Structure 1
Amino acid sequence: MQEEKQEFQFYVEQIKRAGAFSMDTDHFHDTYEIYYLLAGERNYYINNLVYSLRQGDLIFINRNELHRTMAKGTVRHERILINFRQEFLQGMPGGIELTFPFFSEQCLLLRPDVHEQGRIENILFAMLKEQQEQCTQQLPYLQSLLMQMLIQMNRIRESARAAIAPANNEKQRKVYDILEYLRAHYHETVKLEELSERFYLSIPYLCRLFKQTTGFTIVEYLNTIRVQEAQRRLREGSDSVTRIAEDTGFDSIAHFGRVFKGIAKRSPLQYRKQNR
């Protein structure tokens, strides 16, 4: 039982891909995520910005932040990914309780130097080895490794070197404008014809540019931010599901239910019951 709970609270995985790969699903979750690029290049979309990653870059994603990785440059890449819940940091060995500023931010983007990369990789490979071997007292050992990782991340953050900057060429600036518009108008009916006229782009080019930059289709993106807002209101308020569906831009309660379940993996009522 303890092993099942531990697996639920924390996991680490290493994946090496030889071919082109982009995530094909809407992606946000109620766990924290640490992404470390061991080799290759990636584009990483976080909320309204795209970041160009290279070997050794590290990203921390807060809970419920929309993100997606996409192919860039050389198709081969290798990464290590950690997901953990808030509960995993509670009851640390020796009663240690530390807080980190980046836990209250959307994300943390780090470009460690070669010595810092070595320390980070030592911790990550120790995590992978420990998870695979299933040794006794595994939970406190993994907790201590995660705490070491978070401390290293905070030290790099405090060194005040320039963080990874978002990509900012002309095409991406155009997509950033579209994203800003969609986030401001998600609760309305948004038509491709209107977007095409507003941003002076043909519909085929608009859709292709948006997908290439963010990894999302326009419909996927709208549905995702609508569901995110619906989840917030289900957690924090008492409005009916019908009212929330109307206020977040869905044309019917049935459509809302299908899209919500496809993204959240449970019905709106189930989500409210589990998160109140």
Structure 2
Amino acid sequence: MKISRPLRENRQHGDLLFPVSAYETKMEQDFEMPLSYHWHPEIEIFFITSGKANFQVEAEPFIIEEGDVLLIKPNALHGSHDCFGTQLEFRAVVFDYSFLSGMANDRIEQKYLNPLFSEEQGHFILLREKNSIQKALFEMLNKTFFVFDEKEKGYEVLVRAYLLQVVYDILMLQKGEIKPVKTNTRKSEMIRKIVGFVEENHTQRIVLNSLAAYLSVSEGYLCRFFKDNFHMTFVEYVQRVRLQKAERLLRETDDPVGKIALDVGFGSGNYFTTEFGKLYHTTPQKYRKGQDT
């Protein structure tokens, strides 16, 4: 079986001259967020405006909720799922390190940017202190989002200025003993291998013992590892991956539902429709039509 490092996000964030994008996602109450692991070489600042959700960066799971700010460093594997039965709204600003660094290796880069974004100090920084600096940080991120969204004349200048203010606020919060979290390297590597294995082989019939053999661990250990780190069984995880792939194909292609079901690894269209309904609370056909309205 072919194994590589998959899950690099295909989306391009901005362009060569302005490598930054801002996104907003809204999910209705009781919608179960699909598990979605990915990585990208850009920095991501993720913040929830309403609700809360489980989140994971590399091997570290945690809950992120309204008012929290999560800085995800370049190349870190991350994803979220399970929005606790509440309406969930979150925003993200994704940008290349070069967008802030300015003149290469100047004092600002040496003294502030390099230490802040260094992977040696962990893959992420979670900011959840409820104080005036945290509030200012959250408001500045929202201002960045709105300026980017409206794109009025000169918005590029404001986006860079606001993100530099965001960096400053994060540095000030770190003086309050908010420290980067170092992840368990061995556990993180195990998660990457599992995600890569399923990503490469989900269209085939894959079973737990084939993954256990690939990882050189026992099936019992692997079952416990899934429960502790994925919060679901191996079978449930494979199903989530297949459904996530199918959901994307429904949005991005005109392929018949039956073909999509087979392409992502389901044995039949009827079974796929049943499982899709459990996660997305609608049929594949209705979901596709809803994307066109």
TM-score bucket (shorter structure): 0.5 to 0.7
For 1:15-94, list aligned pairs within 5 A: 15-19=25-29, 20-91=31-102
Contact 2:37 2:80 in 1 (8 A): no
Q: Quote the offset at 1:9 in angstroms.
A: 0.7
Check the 8 A contact 2:208/2:219 in 1, yes or no: no
How far, CA to CA, are the matches of 1:164 and 1:55 in structure 2? 20
Pick closer, same or farther for the CA change 1:103–1:120 going to 2, 3 Å: same
Question: Tell me, what secondary structure is at the counterpart of 2:132?
Answer: helix
How far apart are 1:69 and its partner, in Å? 1.0
1:99-133 alpha-carbon deviations (Å, 9 max, x no partner):
33220031111112142342123212221232233
Cα–Cα, structure 1 residues 134 and 177, in superposed 2: closer, same or farther, change >3 Å? Answer: closer
Match of 1:119 among 123, 136, 139: 136
Q: Is the 8 A contact 1:37 1:56 kept in 2?
A: yes
Query: Any conservation in 2 of the 1:43–1:72 contact (CA below 8 Å)?
Result: yes
Give the drift of 1:79.
1.4
Q: Which residue of 2 aligns with 1:103?
A: 117
Partner residue of 2:22 out of 12, 17, 24: 12
Identity of aligned residues (%): 17
What CA distance in whole angstroms lies between the structure 1 residues aligned with 2:233 and 2:131?
Answer: 30
* CA contact 1:21–1:75 (8 Å) conserved in 2: no
The answer to whether the Cα contact below 8 Å between 2:20 and 2:95 also exists between their aligned partners in 1 is yes
Residue 193 (1) aligns with residue 212 (2): no
Q: 1:212 aligns with which of 231, 238, 243?
A: 231
Separation in 2, partners of 1:193, 1:29: 30
Q: Deviations over 1:26-68 (max 9, x none)?
A: 4101111001122211111111121112221111111111000
Letter in 2 for 1:13: Y
Please tell me the residue identity of whatever aligns with 1:102.
L
Deviations 1:124-182 (A, max 9, x none): 2221232233222222211010000011111112211577899xxxxxx9xx9976656
The answer to whether the Cα contact below 8 Å between 1:111 and 1:163 also exists between their aligned partners in 2 is no
Tell me how far apart the structure 2 counterparts of residues 6 and 130 of structure 1 sit (CA, whole Å): 20
Residue pair 1:6, 1:139 contacting (<8 A) in 2 also: no
Work out which of the residue numbers 122, 133, 142 in structure 1 matches 2:150: 133
1:214 and 1:149 map into 2 onto residues whose CA distance is 39
SS in 2 for 1:22: coil
Q: Which amino acid aligns with 1:28?
A: W
Q: Among 144, 147, 155, which residue is 2:164 paired with?
A: 147
Aligned-pair CA distance for 1:81: 0.6
Assess if the C-alpha contact under 8 Å between 2:134 and 2:173 holds in 1. no
Gaps of 5+ in 2: 1-13, 198-205, 242-293
CA separation in 2, counterparts of 1:108 and 1:66? 14
2 CA distance for matches of 1:84 and 1:146?
Answer: 10
Q: Over the residues paired in the alignment, what is the CA RMSD in angstroms?
A: 4.3
Give the letter aligned to residue 136 of structure 1: K
Paired residues of 1:51 and 1:165 also in contact (CA < 8 A): no
Look up the SS of the partner of 1:126 in the other structure.
helix
Count, aligned residues: 206
Q: Match of 1:11, SS?
A: strand
Instruction: Report the CA distance shift for 1:179/1:192 in structure 2 as closer, same or farther (over 3 A).
Output: farther
Residue type at the aligned position of 2:144: M
Partners in 2 of 1:9 and 1:25 — Cα distance?
23
Q: Which runs of 5+ in 1 are unaligned?
A: 167-172, 222-276
C-alpha distance in 1 between matches for 2:231 and 2:93: 26
Preserved CA contact (<8 Å) 1:23 1:68: no
Taking structure 1 as reference, are residues 182 and 57 closer, same or farther at Cα in structure 2, changes over 3 Å only?
closer
